[in-house]
Amino acid sequence: MQALIAEAEADPEGWLADIASRADVRETLAGAGTMVWHVWGQGEPLVMLHGGHGAWNHFCRNVEPLAAAGFQVIVADLPGLGASDDPGPPYTADGLAEMVLYGIKSLVEDDQLVHIAGFSFGSVIGAAVAEMLGPRLASFNMVGAAGFGPRARTPDAMIKIHPDMEQDELRDAARNNMAWLMLADPDNVGELAIHIQLTNSLRARTLSRPISATMRLMEALPNMLGPVNAIWGALDRTAVGALEQRIEMLREERPEARIEMLEGAGHWTQYEAADRYNALLVEMIRG
């Protein structure tokens, strides 16, 4: 992993393009436009849904290791995010989930069960999709999940990124936002993280925060016909003061759910602790 990190830091755009070049890029209908999907590998379908203001690159350190573990890794650019078209308002969890479900049914054979893995906002959309899949759900796996309802806001040090900023301002804002919200260790905010943050933020059109603050994930949990697994970074800033309550809420609805904490990791757990996340996700699904 260290060699890969060094390569990615030296040329983030080229490193991401290289990973994307080994994917089968597909499009499915979504509203009046299309959704873009990247697919790596062969095997059990594992659909991965990124966080707010994100794209497939939220899983850039995960897709190929998971494909090597025997999964067909199918990663969405959610509607109005990444390279996918803006579906237009209203933006609701169920409306977006129906577009994702249509895409899954277009990409996956009818007789295959589907694993869902959602990050943050993607966990909310993924929960609705998991519910809609019914008996085709193989497992639902969340990391840094939202969807537990509104909570008191912690002091917000985020800087809004907009295209009128000068390049130095953009980079400073991205570095600040990564260090404040996404990653626990400021030393992990390198060129790759900054590039991903800027690329995704400048093309985000779907407003994810209002959806993340709903109870949609909690509402879906009792209706999922498959195992439920949850991973949090122990230093996830989005869950400060609320993590114990979220775990209690999760256990109340799904007492059998497996819940794991990754020490030293922040909100973007699958990036900051990629090796541990990849191994744990495979273990959870296969175990």
Q: What is the pLDDT of residues 79-88, one digit of tens each?
A: 999 999 999 8
Distance CA 274, CA 18 (A): 18
Q: Please, which pLDDT band fits residue 152 given cuts at 50, 70 and 90?
A: low
Region 202-214: mean pLDDT is 93
> Is 250 contained in some domain?
yes
Question: What confidence tier does 2 reach under pLDDT thresholds 50, 70, 90?
Answer: low
Closest listed residue to residue 122, CA positions, set 176, 59, 171, 72: 59
Is position 187 within any domain? no
Q: What is the pTM of this model?
A: 0.97
Cα angle 170, 172, 178; round to 5: 100
Contact predicate 126/140, CB 8 Å:
yes
Tokens of 207: 């407003």
Identify whether 88 is part of a domain: yes
Q: Supply 217's token pair.
A: 């994930």
CATH of residue 45's domain is 3.40.50.1820
Number of domains in the chain: 1
Q: How distant, in Å, are the alpha carbons of 11, 19, 96, 217, 260 from that of 123? A: 30, 24, 12, 7, 16
Instruction: Decide if 27 is inside a domain.
Output: yes
Range of the domain at 233: 2-155+206-286
Q: Is residue 185 part of a domain?
A: no
> C-alpha 57: how far from its chain's center?
9
Q: Does 181 reside within a domain?
A: no
